[in-house]
Amino acid sequence: MNNMVEKQLDSSRSLQLLSEISGEEPLSQRELSRRLGIAVGLVNSYLKNLVSKGFVRVKNFPSNRYAYLLTPQGLAEKSRLAYQHISYFTSLYTVARQDYLDLFRRLEDAGVREVAFCGVDEVAEVAYLSLQETGLELKFVMDDGRQGDMFFGRPVVSVAEGLRKVGIPVVISSLKRRDELTQALRGFGVASGRIFCAGTTDTQIG
C-alpha cells in the first residue's frame, strides 16, 4: 500500500499546483510553496515537470518575475487528477477500513484491550471507525505536528508525552507517514513488537 500512497501524494501535489495556478492571481514559487506546505525546491521540480508535459506555461514579467499559466492540456489534466483523487480516496477508505479492522481483531485475539494511535490524518479517522467495531479502547493519540488538536474527543499529545504513559501497543494511524512515524517511535526506544501497521500479519507483542 506504501507505493499506492506515494503515487497518490505525487498526484495530489500536482493537482494542488494546477488548482492554484488556474486562479486569476499570478503566484511566485515561494507563494506556491507556502500554500502547499512544501519546499520551494520541490515546487520548482513539480513545475518543471508540468511545463515539460505541456500542462503549464511560463510567462515573463519585467524585473525577472514569472507567472505560471495553465494550458488547455493542463486544464484537462487538472480534471483528470481531480477524478483520480476522488476514486483513490474511495478505494483507500474501503481497503484501509478492512485492513485496520483485521489488525484490531488480531490484537484483540492476542489479548490486547487498549491501543494508542500514532499519526493523525484522514486514515486515522478510518482506523478509528474500524476500532469501534471491536472491543478495543483507544487510550490516547500521538502526533507532534497536531499536538493540542482534538481527535474524536481526545487531545492529541506529542510522541514523547504519549510514550510516558502506559506501555500499550501503538498503531501507526497514517499511511503517508508510516515509515517516518515508525522510525520516530523506535528512536524513543519503542520495541518493534509494540508497533503495529495495518496490512501486516505480525501480531507478536514484544
Taking the alpha carbons of 164, 166, 167, 172 in that order, is the dihedral positive or negative? negative
> Torsions phi, psi of 147, nearest 5?
-55, 130
What pLDDT, on the 0 to 100 scale, is given for residue 63?
A: 60
Domains and CATH numbers, the chain: 2-70 (1.10.10.10), 96-197 (3.40.50.720)
Strand-pairing partners, residue 115, are 138
206 confidence band (pLDDT: 50, 70, 90): very low
Cell output for 38 = 512544501
Interaxial angle between packed helices 178-187 and 2-21, expressed in degrees from 0 to 180 and rounded to the nearest 10: 120
SS (H, E, C) 167-184: CCCEEECCCCCHHHHHHH
Are the C-beta atoms of 71 and 51 separated by less than 8 Å? no
Nearest in space to 174 (alpha carbons), one of 154, 199, 148, 150: 199
Mean pLDDT of 75-97: 82
Q: How far apart are CA 17 and CA 19, in angstroms?
A: 5
Residue 52, pLDDT score? 93
User: Could you read off the pLDDT of 114-170 as tens digits, one per residue?
Assistant: 999 999 988 899 999 999 999 999 999 999 988 889 999 889 999 999 988 767 899
Higher pLDDT, 25 or 169: 169
Q: How much is the pTM?
A: 0.61
Mean pLDDT to the nearest integer, 47-51: 92
What is the pLDDT of the chain when averaged over all its residues?
85
Extract the C-alpha cell encoding 15: 493537482
- Residue 49 bridge partners (DSSP): none
